[in-house]
């Protein structure tokens, strides 16, 4: 396997990852039913986000946190999201950038988990 090297590689993992999210019993409900995500619009934004994270392209401009605030997120959802992300990266890539992508996804999940009001947070 190779490391993540460019936007083509980012598109591979973003599309595969969100395909898993979309089909996931719990996360799919949040994205599809509750938030009504337009995947044709969302996926290019996520490619830009990860391109910015991994290669500092500056293409992603946005406030992702605010968009997630009204969602019915539970404490365990972040672990589920991160597990799918890491699984997807590991299926396609290995190396420094792949490890960094997983590290940054963990930081995103941890940040959101501490900042978002959610059901079961104080359990």
Q: Model confidence over 2-30: pLDDT tens digits?
A: 999 999 999 999 999 999 999 999 899 88
Q: Given pLDDT bands bounded at 50, 70 and 90, which one contains residue 109?
A: confident
CB-based contact 2:95 (threshold 8 Å): yes
Give the 3-state DSSP-derived string for 47-73, with helices as H, strands as E and coil as C: HHHHHHHHHCCCCCCCCHHHHHCCCCC
Q: Given pLDDT bands bounded at 50, 70 and 90, which one contains residue 117?
A: low
Is residue 123's pLDDT more than 60?
A: no
Mean pLDDT score of the chain:
87
Smallest CA-to-CA distance from 81 within 66, 97, 50, 102 is with 102
C-alpha to C-alpha distance for 85 and 79, rounded to whole angstroms: 10
Per-domain residue ranges of the chain = 7-115
CATH homologous superfamily, domain 7-115: Globins (1.10.490.10)
Q: What is the pTM of this model?
A: 0.86
Q: Model confidence over 34-58: pLDDT tens digits?
A: 888 899 999 999 999 999 999 999 9
Terminal CA-CA length for the chain: 40
């Amino acid at each position: 396997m190779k490391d993540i090297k460019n936007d083509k590689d980012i598109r591979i993992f973003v599309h595969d990852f969100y395909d898993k999210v979309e089909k996931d019993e719990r996360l799919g409900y949040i994205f599809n039913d509750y938030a009504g995500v337009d995947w044709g619009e969302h996926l290019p934004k996520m490619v830009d986000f990860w391109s910015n994270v991994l290669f500092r392209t500056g293409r992603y401009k946005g406030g992702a946190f605010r968009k997630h605030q009204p969602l019915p997120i539970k404490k365990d959802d972040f672990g589920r999201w991160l597990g799918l992300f890491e699984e997807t990266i590991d299926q396609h890539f290995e190396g420094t950038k792949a490890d960094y992508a997983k590290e940054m996804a963990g930081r995103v999940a941890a940040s959101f988990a501490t900042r978002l009001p959610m059901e079961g947070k104080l359990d």
